[in-house]
Amino acid sequence: MSKDSSNTIESILQEQRVFPPSNDLASQSRIGSLSVYKRMVEEASNDPERFWGDFARSELQWIKPFDSVLDWSNPPFARWFDGGKINISSNCLDRHLHGSRAEKLALIWEGEPGDTKSFTYKQLHKEVCRTANALKALGISKGDLVALYMPMVPEAAIAMLACARIGAPHSVVFGGFSSEALRDRLIDGEAKAVITADGSFRKDKTVLLKPAVDAALADGACPSVESVLVVRRVNESVQMNSGRDFWWHELVDSQDEECQPEPMESEDRLFVLYTSGSTGKPKGVVHTTAGYNLWSHLTFQWIFDIRDEDVYWCTADVGWITGHSYIVYGPLSNGATTVMYEGAPRPSNPGAFWELIQKHKVSIFYTAPTAIRAFMKSGRSIPDQYDMSSLRLLGTVGEPINPEAWMWYRDVIGGNRCPVVDTWWQTETGGVMISPLPGATPTKPGSATFPLPGIEADVVDSQGKSVESDEGGYLVIKKPWPGMMRTIHGNEKRFRESYWEYIQPSDGSFIYFAGDGARRDLDNYFWVMGRVDDVINVSGHRLGTMEIESALVSHPSVSEAAVVGRPDELKGESIVAFITLETGRVANDQLVDDLSEHVSKEIGRIARPEEIRFSDALPKTRSGKIMRRILRSLASGEEVRGDTSTLEDRSVLDKLRT
Ligand code: PRX
């Protein structure tokens, strides 16, 4: 793992603009001033157990109260709310069934071709119960892992909640991953069932999913998988394997509409979600029930300052953590109305997002900087055609947002009246960690501002010592929080080493570091600079360079591969691969296409390199380590700076330049 924080963006360092919350907004908000925020920070710091315990009791419904708030006696393995019993599907549904909320819209769904469905809390509860009963009928019980490989259809959210209802952890695999990537995850998680769809509509095309599941399961590759539940979405004929595959509409619709929620221990697994790291295969991040429930619930309430009349829309895919925490669990736990969209802006409908905001009178909109930059490029004339006066709050997530995109978002989409919350967090953190609070925090374009109450974030050096203001360092969290990941599925050692042992303070305390560089300015605002490890962030999608390299090296023509990220105006970063070929193989356009296709097959289209460069050799140290720093400079056309004295063969550099 190489650690050189080189992602400094000059324009960010110069940023002077400050946007305080309007008086109007502040007066209506839960956390309505910086002094209220500071008081909460202080309370959390003085007595964290009381702080979290009070929220857990007042904000969640427990089947049995917990005995203790936090057990941190065996760090980095935390136990939150031990002794308690709870069910997150019941917190997201059943508790809203009394009174008028039962008839409130829980989920509004829009299909890409324009078909639409909506569910009140009462209706969603029934659908989830039916699905939970269907899973039971398939022999799934508490503790069995169920994989979801789904398009953005309501059944994806329903299936997640149904799994949670019966205590079967889910593992959602993004529908854009290939069958090979799906297979790896099914094997690693020992999934007992897969829920999928025949296909999906995406950018005016039909994309099939079921054949990828068939391919992943072929030749008995995943012996743990006993059944496959298939949603009919595109009506294409797909192969159904008798005894293994079941249509959703045949199995689910006939089930009873009552299903008692399984009483779950606080620390029972809720889900496993795979994400990329700097080494090895993707890791299964484990989240457990009560802590995650509290964290997704509280953060959603705080950062969006949710009100009963809000219509909230997050454009993420349920295959990522943002979809888990901020399409499904956070909004529903708060009794909010959440919008889900199958499609994306596309040439035939570049205003698709704005049309939906206008149609459903969306008041809170949460999207990724990469989308904002793409809209910016095509100009304001498209959004200007729509009435977006319903919006009151905008959020961004997934990658650093450049001040220009932030300003455009605020101005063109938010009509200069909506605060922008830039939310920093990760799959591992379960929910947002650093973000403005819309009624309290004066924002600066490009800064995620301050840690949420109870989150002790810092910027430190490699010994864990806080660095000076305006100096770059590692972004760390110094105290456990309820939504923290509990482990990596099947690999406690990797959990320890990757997150808790990279930075070892002299006092022996455990601090969490997951790969980002940051700095704090003189006003204590956090500026997240991006990854400082070998993970790249392409359009908000997190990819490990090593995963892409392994995919490339598995091609018969490739001898060695090194993959680096190159700054990209639209995508944040793009993938550049440097390759040496096996003897006798010839570099040509056909091979470039083949390699690209090969990566698509091994991982998914999102991992295809933007550029592939061939060379006789790669720059290495004398001990044989590839010098990525040099490759990064070469990929972005920069001068190779810094020490090159450890380079084994300096002539390699000259060859790569040409
Ligand atoms: O590098 C950070 C970046 O996304 C990484 C986490 O990716 P993932 O686990 O896929 O979760 C994405 C959605 C939370 C982080 O390590 N990142 C996320 N949000 C921001 C960000 N970088 C800068 N600013 C953000 N607001």
Tell me which of 292, 299, 426, 447 to substitute to probe ligand 1's pocket, judged by most ligand atoms within 8 Å of the beta carbon: 426
Please state at what angle helix 589-602 crosses helix 179-189, rounded to 10 degrees: 30
Report the nearest atom of ligand 1 relative to the CA of 423. 26
**Whose CA is closest to atom 15 on ligand 1?**
426
Vertex 445 angle, CA 443 and 448, to 5°: 65
Tell me which of 399, 420, 536 to substitute to probe ligand 1's pocket, judged by most ligand atoms within 8 Å of the beta carbon: 399
Is 374 exposed, middle or buried, given 0-12, 13-18 or 19+ CB atoms closer than 10 A? middle
At 12 the pLDDT is 56
Residue 385 tokens read as: 């055609």
At 4 the pLDDT is 37
Q: What is the mean pLDDT of residues 34-52?
A: 98
Cα 61 to ligand 1 centroid, rounded to whole Å: 30
Cα 20 to ligand 1 centroid, rounded to whole Å: 25
Query: Does residue 395 contact residue 303 with C-beta atoms inside 8 Å?
Result: yes
Cα 528 to ligand 1 centroid, rounded to whole Å: 9
Cβ-Cβ contacts under 8 Å for 374 (sequence gap 6 or more): 345, 570
Side-chain half-sphere CA neighbours of 479 within 13 A:
19
**Whose CA is closest to atom 12 on ligand 1?**
398
Mean pLDDT, all residues of the chain: 95
At 11 the pLDDT is 54
Phi first, then psi, for residue 253 (nearest 5°) are: -65, -25
Binned at pLDDT 50, 70 and 90, residue 13 comes out as: low
At 640 the pLDDT is 77
Query: Does residue 78 contact residue 486 with C-beta atoms inside 8 Å?
Result: yes
The CA distance from 292 to 266, in Å, is 9
Side-chain half-sphere CA neighbours of 248 within 13 A:
24
Tell me which of 424, 441, 539, 545 to substitute to probe ligand 1's pocket, judged by most ligand atoms within 8 Å of the beta carbon: 424
The CA distance from 557 to 307, in Å, is 57
Report the nearest atom of ligand 1 relative to the CA of 514. 16
Tell me which of 320, 441, 528 to substitute to probe ligand 1's pocket, judged by most ligand atoms within 8 Å of the beta carbon: 528
Q: What is the mean pLDDT of residues 495-518?
A: 94
Tell me which of 299, 394, 425 to substitute to probe ligand 1's pocket, judged by most ligand atoms within 8 Å of the beta carbon: 425
Side-chain half-sphere CA neighbours of 615 within 13 A:
22
The share of the chain scoring above pLDDT 90, in percent, equals 91
Q: Which residue has the tokens 């997050």?
A: 314
Cα 543 to ligand 1 centroid, rounded to whole Å: 12
DSSP element (H, E) containing 148: strand 146-149
At 2 the pLDDT is 33
Check whether 1 has a pLDDT greater than 60. Answer: no
At 537 the pLDDT is 94
The CA distance from 37 to 45, in Å, is 12
CA dist 644 → 396, 580, 628, 636, 649 (Å): 38, 21, 12, 18, 10
Query: Does residue 489 contact residue 189 with C-beta atoms inside 8 Å?
Result: yes
**Whose CA is closest to atom 25 on ligand 1?**
424
The share of the chain scoring above pLDDT 70, in percent, equals 98
- 469-484: per-residue pLDDT in tens? 999 999 999 999 999 9
What is the residue type of 449? T
Q: What is the mean pLDDT of residues 277-303?
A: 95
Report the nearest atom of ligand 1 relative to the CA of 432. 14
Cα 609 to ligand 1 centroid, rounded to whole Å: 21
Cα 544 to ligand 1 centroid, rounded to whole Å: 14
Query: Does residue 250 contact residue 134 with C-beta atoms inside 8 Å?
Result: no
Pick the range with the lowest mean pLDDT from 232-241, 342-351, 621-630: 621-630
Q: What is the mean pLDDT of residues 523-538?
A: 94
Cα 236 to ligand 1 centroid, rounded to whole Å: 36
- 310-352: per-residue pLDDT in tens? 999 999 999 999 999 999 999 999 999 999 999 999 999 999 9
Binned at pLDDT 50, 70 and 90, residue 236 comes out as: very high
The CA distance from 369 to 389, in Å, is 21
Which stretches of 453-557 are assigned E, i.e. beta strand? 457-460, 473-477, 487-488, 512-520, 526-531, 535-538, 541-544
At 6 the pLDDT is 38
Query: Does residue 77 contact residue 114 with C-beta atoms inside 8 Å?
Result: no
Cα 305 to ligand 1 centroid, rounded to whole Å: 21
Q: In this structure, how many other beta carbons lie within 10 angstroms of the beta carbon of residue 293?
A: 32
**Whose CA is closest to atom 24 on ligand 1?**
400
**Whose CA is closest to atom 22 on ligand 1?**
399
Residue 595 tokens read as: 């390699």
Report the nearest atom of ligand 1 relative to the CA of 396. 26
Report the nearest atom of ligand 1 relative to the CA of 322. 13
Cα 401 to ligand 1 centroid, rounded to whole Å: 11
Vertex 400 angle, CA 420 and 19, to 5°: 30
At 651 the pLDDT is 78
Query: Does residue 526 contact residue 475 with C-beta atoms inside 8 Å?
Result: yes
**Whose CA is closest to atom 23 on ligand 1?**
400
Q: What is the pTM of this model?
A: 0.95
The CA distance from 136 to 127, in Å, is 14
What is the residue type of 151? P
Q: In this structure, how many other beta carbons lie within 10 angstroms of the beta carbon of residue 234?
A: 18
Report the nearest atom of ligand 1 relative to the CA of 422. 26
**Whose CA is closest to atom 3 on ligand 1?**
399
- Regarding beta strands 512-520 and 473-477, do their DSSP bridges make them parallel or antiparallel, or are they unpaired? antiparallel
CA dist 478 → 45, 311, 371, 475 (Å): 11, 35, 32, 10
- 147-203: per-residue pLDDT in tens? 999 999 999 999 999 999 999 999 999 999 999 999 999 999 999 999 999 999 999
Query: Does residue 485 contact residue 77 with C-beta atoms inside 8 Å?
Result: no
Query: Does residue 353 contact residue 406 with C-beta atoms inside 8 Å?
Result: no
The CA distance from 573 to 592, in Å, is 20
- Regarding beta strands 283-288 and 487-488, do their DSSP bridges make them parallel or antiparallel, or are they unpaired? antiparallel
Residue 653 tokens read as: 């550099």
Q: If you ran DSSP here, which 8-state letter would residue 177 be given?
A: B
At 483 the pLDDT is 98
Report the nearest atom of ligand 1 relative to the CA of 435. 26
Cα 317 to ligand 1 centroid, rounded to whole Å: 15
- 555-587: per-residue pLDDT in tens? 999 999 999 999 999 999 999 999 999 999 999
β-bridge partners, 530: 517
Closest CA relative to residue 330, chosen from 457, 102, 157, 86? 157
Within 6 A (CB) of ligand 1 lie: 275, 320-322, 397-400, 422-427, 448, 514-516, 528, 530-531, 537, 542
Go through the chain and tell me how many residues it has: 658
State CA 424 to chain mean position distance.
11
Tell me which of 427, 444, 516, 525 to substitute to probe ligand 1's pocket, judged by most ligand atoms within 8 Å of the beta carbon: 516
Cα 256 to ligand 1 centroid, rounded to whole Å: 41
Cα 424 to ligand 1 centroid, rounded to whole Å: 6
Peptide bond connecting 76 to the previous residue in cis, omega within 30 degrees of 0: yes
- 59-75: per-residue pLDDT in tens? 999 999 999 999 999 99
**Whose CA is closest to atom 7 on ligand 1?**
426
Query: Does residue 393 contact residue 304 with C-beta atoms inside 8 Å?
Result: yes
